[in-house]
Structure 1
């Protein structure tokens, strides 16, 4: 089932084309890593898909009403400093707002979901702590939990693992992969090509003003495409512990 359909999408900012003629479909069960060099337009592409930026072409999400969009896709932007002195539990519970009538208290079933997400992200010890007093990595995990609590068919996140330590980067990627395996879909921008190769089911390589490659990680992270898009050499192979991708040198 298609959860996002994009046709001939293009964005121009400050009279400069960022990308054009971008088309793809995102289906249930996919964990898509959006990769590309700095400035390729990864954030811009996701924001345009969500209808947050003026764009040419069509996006099925931007055609939805705001209420329908909030029940269809959870969005985690790159900026994630929490300034509000409210508890982590309250931050996570905010993810349930699109599903509740205005002014309604959190029902018991929603409370169970919030508790489960807090545990899944390893935040039980921080439940009652003011989110504004957490470290940057802990705040990132709280906001990931809020997005998960929204419980939408599609989750879109802009560099959600940036700033996390290696253990939490891996565990977050595992959570996102499990979401996809459970029949929903995840699209995230990511710079760590090793984690993308290991956990994503599909990669979209944005470069040179459009989609340079789209497919399984082993078909996108080829020596030729990696050199062309990123200007590097890399080692990519299958091991008994799974696929490994290691950047080596600048070419």
Structure 2
């Protein structure tokens, strides 16, 4: 089942073309990593897909009403400001607003998945940056939407919580949901995403499995880097090594 369909999508911001002619589909049971250099348009793509910024072309989510969209896709933006000193458990429960309830089971499941049990009674504004990120991911999880979209969800997390968070996303996909993430850590993307989409040069440069996208040629063209990659008994290892010559 297709959860997001983009057709010939183009975005121009401040009179500067960001990308053009982009077509993409996200299906259930996928963890799609959106990768690319700074300024390639990863955030703009997700915001345009949600109808949050002007765009040309078609997005299946942008055509929905706000109420319908809130039940179809959960969104975690890159900015993680928590304005009010609410308890962590109350912040997570805000994910239930589109459903008009405070059902406890999804909230408790989200708190457990993100390891927030010991923090649930603390004021969210008193948490560290990484803890706040985990609380906001939990809020998105409690929304229980078919599609979860997150912009740099692992930024600011320590390595253990980065891995745990990516494992949560893989579990969501295994349950039949879909996940679209923008990521700068290509090593995490290679290990945990079922599919990668590379944005560069104002276009969708590559779309496929991590093995198909993280080739020497595409890494040099899209990021200007060389990298070491290998298959191990514990899964793929990917490490940027230097700038491409």
Deviations 1:199-227 (A, max 9, x none): 00000000000100000000000000001
2:237 corresponds to? 244
Contact 1:78/1:159 (8 A) holds in 2:
yes
2:45 corresponds to? 45
CA positional deviation for 1:44: 0.3
1:6 corresponds to? 6
1:34 corresponds to? 34
CA positional deviation for 1:91: 0.2
CA positional deviation for 1:236: 1.4
- Poorly superposed stretches of 4+, deviation over 6 Å: none
Q: How does 1:39-118 map to 2 (within 5 A)?
A: 39-100=39-100, 106=102, 110-118=103-111
Aligned length: 244
CA positional deviation for 1:235: 1.1
2:205 corresponds to? 212
Partner SS for 2:82? coil
1:149 is aligned, of 128, 138, 142, to 142
Instruction: Note if 1:175 corresponds to 2:129.
Output: no
1:134 corresponds to? 127
1:199 is aligned, of 161, 182, 192, to 192
Deviations 1:128-163 (A, max 9, x none): 110000000000000000000000000000001000
Partner SS for 1:12? strand
Contact 1:81/1:136 (8 A) holds in 2:
no
Structure 2: gaps of 5 or more residues: none
RMSD: 0.7
Q: How far, CA to CA, are the matches of 1:112 and 1:230 in structure 2?
A: 43
Partner SS for 2:83? coil
Deviations 1:216-247 (A, max 9, x none): 00000000000111111001121111011111
Q: How far, CA to CA, are the matches of 1:246 and 1:126 in structure 2?
A: 34
Q: TM-score normalized by structure 2?
A: 0.98
Partner SS for 2:85? coil
CA positional deviation for 1:83: 2.4
Partner SS for 1:152? coil
